[in-house]
Amino acid sequence: MKSNQQNIMVLWYQIRQGVEWRLRFASERLRVFRYKISGVVIGEKSTFQKGITFIYGWRTRFGKECVVDAYAQFKCPTSVDSGIQYNIYIEDNVFIGRGTIIDSNLSIKIGKGTFIAPYCFITDTNHRFTSADIPIRSQGWEYKPVRIEEDVWVGAHVVIVAGVMIGKGSVVAANSTVTNDVPPGVVVGGSPARIIKYRPGYEL
């Protein structure tokens, strides 16, 4: 009798797990479908978790096999260069961590195989503050493209500001602020981020 009860419990657990997996799969496919009909370009086998936000999603493009974790935000409120088709251009096999915000009014491009950890902020927009006689809020904006090349690891809570280029194979330590270009194959950290060391194979 005890053995039969155990078998029934195991069978029930397997059935429940199977149903839950199918529901999660169906929910994810529904999310992808909803994003696509809103204009987001999504490559094959890319997956999206819950709570992701797009503002003017038709200005965002994902390559194949990307993974976007929950509550990430992709914001393209304006497009200051009509010659650029996608404000946010993400190549194949990129991971975007939970709660990360990518905010573009011009152009942000992320290379293939890049890993962006949770709660990062990436923007191509900055306030102007050149005049002491005009409130900063009234001085307008400036826009500079951001480029993150392939195989980059961006640690958690990193801020990447307008005009920055991060070279192939580089690593940005958690809690850093990247304000200047980063050469290929280096580890940088701090606020502002500075070179800590070169990765093996990238030494000068």
pLDDT at 17: 64
Q: Read off the amino acid at residue 172.
A: V
Prediction pTM value = 0.84
pLDDT at 78: 85
Residue 199 carries which DSSP code? P
pLDDT at 81: 82
From the candidates 24, 127, 197, 199, which is the catalytic residue? 127
Per-residue pLDDT of the chain (204 residues; tens, 9 = 90+): 556 666 666 666 666 665 555 555 556 667 777 888 888 999 999 999 989 999 998 899 999 999 999 999 999 988 888 788 899 999 999 999 999 999 999 999 999 999 999 999 999 999 999 999 999 989 989 999 999 999 999 999 999 999 999 999 999 999 999 999 999 999 999 999 999 999 998 876
What per-residue string of b and e applies to 95-119 under the rule 16 or more CB within 10 Å gives b?
bbbbbbbbbbbbbbbbbbbbbbbbb
Report residue 71 CA to chain centroid gap: 11
**Is 127 tagged catalytic?**
yes
CA–CA gap between residue 61 and residue 88 (Å, rounded) = 6
Element spanning 19, H or E? helix 2-37
- In order of 89, 137, 163, 165, 199, the CA distances from 144 in angstroms are 15, 19, 4, 10, 28
Nearest partner of 95 among 125, 123, 120, judged by Cα: 120
Q: Read off the amino acid at residue 135.
A: P
Residue 59 carries which DSSP code? G
Q: According to CATH, what is the number of the domain 40-198?
A: 2.160.10.10
pLDDT at 84: 85
* Length in residues, the chain: 204
pLDDT at 19: 52
Question: Would you kindly state where each structural domain of the chain is located, as residue ranges?
Answer: 1-37, 40-198
